Amino acid sequence: MLLDFEKKGWCRFNNAKMDTAIELLIDEILEFSHYIFKRSVPELKSLREKSSYLSEIVAEFSIKDRTKVSYVYDAIKNLPSFHSLYAHPTLLNTCRTILNSRKILTLKDSVGIRIDLPRETQQLTNIHQEFHSFPYGLEGLVVWLPLTPVNEQNGTIKLFEGSNKELFEFSGDRLGINSLIGQNRFQEAQKVGKLHIGDEGQSPKIITAEVGEILIISATTLHASHPSEKQRFARLTCQFRVFNYSEEFFLWKSENYSFNEGLKQPIAGQELYNEFRDKRRL
């Protein structure tokens, strides 16, 4: 796992204890959503059965009442099992091992759930590096955890292996980007800016994963949404961000700026990095 991460900028992680935690979350999502939609949850025996059913039923609910699906989306992040999942000791210890540090932060305000529905494209992301929008440290991780199958048929993400070796420059109209961010149009804001990657984006790895397969991605690995025109069911994924607070950039930022300086402002994130880089060269 560590060799894969160092070489490619990401790795897969499987663990039986995490399977149990994921299953508890899916059970709670099914129970809550069916309560809202006044339906009974069918008897489902395996984690994969529950995962596939969740994918199908959320897509069905979205056709009948999109507003209630939004209600379920907001509620998921408040379920006890959701908080238990991203704070799971097995997951955090794996992150500590990959970062080679006991000093880590999990950013609770950026712990998220995504529900990607068929024929909806507004939440799709362009190629990006996580650092620009979450400039807490160069030694950071994105934990990408599918609750439903992800593949070319159902939509997934694509990763650019080995791109974690450097931070690519992000540029654009700062006022225009920040205006969109202020309107909670973060995905649009990313698309207004430009990430200067040269030929790095030519051969991505298209990810296929089942529920229980966890991806751990470097905060400097290029990645993007990989949509599918054939998508029939909902795709649900959790994203957690973890940073090593003992590394050089984090310490420098703590001496010069507020904790959340540059949060979800990719131009500001780039400027922070440029200032850090220039001062380190002196």
Question: Per residue, what are the HEC states of 251-276?
Answer: HHHHHHCCCCCCCCCHHHHHHHHHHH
Contact 80, 217 (CB under 8 A): no
Pick from 216, 210, 217, 213: nearest CA to 163:
217
Q: The pTM is what?
A: 0.90
Going from the C-alpha of 215 to that of each of 20, 189, 268, 272, the distances in angstroms are 17, 26, 27, 28
For the chain, give the percent of residues with pLDDT over 70. 89
Q: What is the mean pLDDT of the chain?
A: 89
Gap between the Cα atoms of 134 and 138, Å rounded = 10
**If residue 189 lies in a helix (H) or strand (E), which one and from where to where?**
helix 186-192
Residue 253 reports pLDDT greater than 80: yes
pLDDT of 190: 59
Cβ count within 10 A of residue 60: 14
Phi-psi category of residue 268: left, alpha or beta, with phi > 0 → left and psi -120 to 50 → alpha: alpha
Gap between the Cα atoms of 88 and 94, Å rounded = 10
Mean pLDDT, residues 63-73 taken together: 91
- The number of angstroms, rounded, from the C-alpha of 190 to the middle of its chain's C-alpha atoms is 15
Residue 281 reports pLDDT greater than 90: no
- For the stretch 76-121, pLDDT in tens is 999 999 999 999 999 999 999 999 999 999 988 788 899 999 887 7
pLDDT category at 25 given cuts 50, 70, 90 is very high
Q: Look at 175 and 126; give whichever has higher pLDDT.
A: 126
Pick from 277, 281, 168, 178: nearest CA to 219:
168
Cβ count within 10 A of residue 80: 10
